[in-house]
Amino acid sequence: MTIDQPKPATEHTRLRNRDQLGRVFSPTDLDRVKRGFIAKREPGLITDENGRFIGNSDNYEFLRDGRDCPETVNPHLWRHATLNAHHGLFKVAEGVWQVRGYDISNISFIRGATGWVIIDPLTSEHTARAALELMDQHVEKLSTSVVIFTHSHADHFGGVLGVTTKDDVDAGRCQIVAPVGFLQETVGENVIAGPAMGRRATYQFGPMLPPGPTGHVDCGLGTGMPMGPPGLLAPTRDITITGEELVLDGVRVVFQLTPETEAPAEMNFFFPDFGWLCMAENCSQTMHNLVPIRGALVRNALNWSKYINESIELFADQTDVLFTSHNWPTWGKHDVREFLILQRDLYKWMHDQTMRHANHGMTAVEIANMLTLPDEFLAHEHTRGFYGDLIHNVKAVHQRYLSWYDGNPANLNKLPPTEVGQRYVDLAGGIESLLMKARKAYDEGDYRWVAELVNHAVFADPAHHDARNLQADVLEQLGYQSESSTFRNAYLMGAQELRKGPPPPTPTHVRARSMIRAMTIEQVFDTLSVRVISENVGGLSVAVNWTFTDMVGTPDHKWVIGLSNRTMYSIRGRHDDGAVATVMISRALLLEVIAQVTTFVDELAAGRAVIDGDASALLTIFGNLDTFATGFAIVEP
């Protein structure tokens, strides 16, 4: 066995996982997963137009071949993964179909009077197009008349160009319906922290882990993420109030806005003529995240619970089938109501119990180590932590109310990890002495302590092979034991990178130009300001006026950006008399520059952009912007 290969489960892991085997969930979940199956893609490989890999459901055949749960996977997660691994085209009800298993999310099709009403067209145009092809082959070939985006996360709109075109939308042949604030939140959530969030997402979803019992098994909400970049088309109709009713291609829909739940802009909706309820991603067949480990704004667990309760009051008595943006549907009024009640109570319980103990003075870490899910939630697939995890969700609730700080002044201004690591190694009598104690704890199965202890050694001396290997071994065992797919993926990604190193750093570039083209001027300038290299611009004070030639008659026609006290500022709606230059350019062209389709130099030379005044002022600003690289280290300095 070479050093970079996964290790088998230790006896401690085998015993821990074996202890979970007797706890069996209801077989009705498997029945629901299989219900309405029509056909699947064969083969399961999906590529882009250049033959580049997007995804392959065939890589997860090990979840479908009937084998017993391997010792390297938590049995509860294994069962959940085998349910998610059922892929293909499914009939949900007369007039409703879903394609599941080719993306982390579901795409749903409603037959309208003239075409398809499509809900959440996946992450990538290639997976969405593959789903549409299944519909063409096995149901009916129709054009897309309406696309509904349930919320502002990329796996629910990113494949829109696989099911419609900008020309069809611009011509009114296809409507796009979304909750109010969708476009702002869609672009905004990942703009400021995009490079860091993208890197951390590789730990949450584990796309670089090889599929298999010692590697990638599941993502909780679905089997895996596709590799293709997301696209975006702007909505043509915003939903602005709960109770708003539209007739979309002959299909009556009643909407419920649910802002600041699973996404900043999100909505549920009901089809009153048929008894269908779409709960977007506010409910899934798993506990969700109150803050994802990739990072995001902390979600409002209290309001989340209240919106689910509002759904019960508004729709439950009329609902015959409930479907969501992930996992599988629920049928029957009784089962729908029970599902919604448990989901409502889960998020309220996590919120209330975290804050009850916080108000006794307990810290987030203390509460997370003390709280356990009650039997009422443990008894059901959809209220266990296969995606979100109670440990992390407790900390999210605590953070929302009380911040990251635990109240202990010893933690107000802690030393950085490398310095702390060096001092702990010295305190232990040197790195070999520390590792000797860590190996003893490892042999005893005290894995969480080993991970904390050896982390100090790795940060003190990242080139120490024995320290790296022991940390990789212990993270791997913690991953094998994890019920949460995101915890498993993070642990196993850490182990893999300790053995093989992080991916090589490469300059970040715009993966999805259609996302950039949807940015507002303010979002562009906010993004640029995060890149200002403060140490290079001391003493500089300069302002540049901007005139956006395609924004005449709007407040975005005129802007000022400048440097002041090592900071970039922007002002909307006017020019500064003291500015040293004025740039005249269209918003569309600026976004092409930001998307790296062209450059300022080329556009100035071509006359499509004009600078009046001191052109060097633009270089003063844009010449002092940082660049970001992917692949930065996470489990080492």
| Residue boundaries of the structural domains of the chain | 35-398, 513-622
Query: What's 451-505 look like in SS3?
Result: HHHHHHHHHHCCCCHHHHHHHHHHHHHHHHHCCCHHHHHHHHHHHHHHHHCCCCC
Letter string b/e over residues 514-539, b meaning 16 or more CB atoms within 10 A of that residue's CB: bbbbbbbbebbbbbbbeebeeeebee
Lowest-pLDDT range of 35-49, 514-528, 562-576: 514-528
Contact 542, 525 (CB under 8 A): no
What integer pLDDT is reported at residue 549 of this predicted model?
96
Who's near 374: CB < 8 A, 6+ residues apart? 349
State residue 600's pLDDT score.
87
CATH tag for 513-622 (out of 3.40.190.10, 3.20.20.330, 3.40.50.11540, 3.30.1050.10): 3.30.1050.10
Specify the length of the chain in residues: 637
510 versus 483: the higher-pLDDT residue is: 483
Tens digits of residue pLDDT in 442-462? 999 999 999 999 999 999 999
Give the tens place of pLDDT for each residue, 62-75: 999 999 999 999 99
Q: What angle do CA 461, 467, 473 make, to 5 degrees?
A: 145
Extended strands (E) in 295-380: 321-323, 330-331
- Which CATH code fits 35-398? 3.60.15.30
Q: Taking a C-beta distance cutoff of 8 angstroms, is the pair 127, 158 a contact?
A: no
For residue 93, the SS3 value is strand
* Average pLDDT rounded to a whole number, residues 224-236: 93
Specify the pTM.
0.96
Residue 1: predicted pLDDT: 37
pLDDT at position 25 over 80: no
- The predicted-structure confidence for 302-324, as pLDDT tens digits, reads as follows 999 999 999 999 999 999 999 99
Q: What is the pLDDT, as a whole number, of residue 2?
A: 45
Q: Tokens for 362? A: 């307990």
